[in-house]
Structures are given as C-alpha cells and as structure tokens.
Amino acid sequence: MNERESRAILFSAIEGGHSFWSQEIFSQGAKKTIEKLQGGSYDTIKFGKLMNAIAVTSADNVLSAVDKAHAQFVVPGDVMWPAAVEDLVNPPIALIAKGNLEVLSLQSLAIVGTRNPTNYGARNAGDFAAGFVDREWGIVSGGAYGIDSYAHKGALIAEGITVAVIASGIDVNYPAGNERLFAQICEGGAIITEVMPGHPALPARFLTRNRLIAAISKATLVVEAAFRSGSLRTARDAADLLRPVMAIPGPINSPTSEGCHRLIGERAAEIVTSVADAVEFVGANR
C-alpha cells in the first residue's frame, strides 16, 4: 500500500478537520499511521471504531467512488495540491476536486457572509468579487445561498475564476438550487471538498470546511454576517493563519451586519468601505 492509497483509506474513515489525526498523518505519513493503527500502537478502545473501519475499507473502492463522481483525489505532493492548506493546524488528509484544479493555487480573496443578505450585502458581494477579478484574483466562497452565491456570480459575470469549497460530497448539489451555479463554476474554476462522494452536508462540516476557505485564500472579506454567524469562524480561521481579514460595515441597527461590526469592534477585521480600500489593504495592486 502506497501513501496515496493509505490517505484514501484514512480520508474515508476520518471526519475532516480532526486535529489529532491530521497532525499524526502530516507528521509521520498516512502509510505509517495505518501501520500503527493495525499494529495496536493506538488506544484500541478509544480508536477501535476507526481500526475496524480501515480494516474493511479498500483504497480501490474509495478511489473508484471518486472516479464515478467525475472528480479527482488530490493529496500532498500532487502538482494540483494547494500547499497553503498545510498552514492549518488540522490540514486535510486529502481533497476531492472537480473542474480546473490549477486555480487552487491562484491568488484569491475569500468572500463570505450570511445566507439571508439584504440587497446592500448582495450588491457588495458581487461588486467586491468583480473588483478583485479585475485585478486577476480568484474568488473563494462556500457555494451556499446568499453572500456566497452572489460572490461566485459576481466573479463569473466579470469573467473571472471562482472556487467553491463545499461541505458535502462532490456529487451532492447542496443547496440543490445552486446546481447550475456549480456547473458554471467548474467551467473555469473548481469545486473542492474533504467529504466522500454521496455524503450529505452536516452542520459540523460547514464549520470545518470554513478553515479551508480561509487557508486557500490570501485574504478574507466578511460582507454581511449575524452576531453568531459561521462566517465569523472563517474570519477567525484566517486571522489564526495571519491572513488579512476585512469586514464591510452596515447600518447600526441591521442584524445582518452585527457580525461585521463585532469583528471591527474587536479589531479582528479591517473596516473597508470600497473595493479600493480592500485592494490597498491586501496589496492587490502590487
């Protein structure tokens, strides 16, 4: 069993974003990790379920499932592997991707926010996406309704590249209403996930995928977000990686801007009120 096959088995058996196993695999390799699991080097009670899972999992079956989804299985060392994800404390074991994988290493801006934006937020998401596309940056978001969709569409309308990082299997169109958008994204950009084909988007998977959005982007912009929005998690993940974080202010009585105001008030994000502000802050003109 080689390293790719070992990663395929572990990828199918371990939920994405698991800190302990991510660190074990990246420090000693997937093949060595499986050998230690099979040899009883880990707690057999605590990790018994995982040991049973890898015992009945075939790398061929995992890779075949990816092929059937018309996607690619990408691991560290592959030309298309986005090395920036290795800056995370819990980097992905592997990624499943569809589309033009070369764009995964493109200089990109993450644009995130609420699923229920105001017209103000929707317009800003599209305008900022188009503004950065004009400067030959890619746009990264999560493929969800709301700000995510407007950011992807803004990039596409400007004839730019956009990447969707999703929380479900690569063959699961979630949300279903974005099926056409996903197809358009793949024409020049890409869709990536660390979830096996056929698996649904679960609440916890949205939070773990947010770190990937932050990691593959050079900077993150929060357009509109509620006080406890998951988008704030993306912003904090970006800050942990020492990547620039920006937020657009809104009306002081707008619930959809409370999260942005919180980031700005805590000095966790730079306030930006125009594309020019954002461009200057991240140095996109250099």
* Of 90, 140, 85, the residue nearest 113 (C-alpha): 140
CA–CA distance, 52 with 39 (Å, rounded to integer): 13
Query: Digits of tens for pLDDT over the chain (286 positions)?
Result: 899 999 999 999 999 999 999 999 999 999 999 999 999 899 988 999 999 999 999 999 999 999 999 999 999 999 999 999 999 999 999 999 999 999 998 999 999 999 999 999 999 999 999 999 999 999 999 999 999 999 999 999 999 999 999 999 999 999 999 999 999 999 999 999 999 999 999 999 999 999 999 999 999 999 999 998 889 999 999 999 999 999 999 999 999 999 999 999 999 999 999 999 999 999 865 5
Which regions of the chain carry the CATH code 3.40.50.450? Answer: 101-282
What was the pLDDT predicted at 225?
95
* Of 140, 191, 146, 186, the residue nearest 168 (C-alpha): 191
* Of 164, 255, 238, the residue nearest 201 (C-alpha): 164
What was the pLDDT predicted at 40?
87
Q: What is the CATH number of domain 101-282?
A: 3.40.50.450
Looking up tokens 């730079």, which residue turns up?
270
What was the pLDDT predicted at 286?
52
What was the pLDDT predicted at 228?
87
pTM as predicted: 0.95
What was the pLDDT predicted at 45?
87
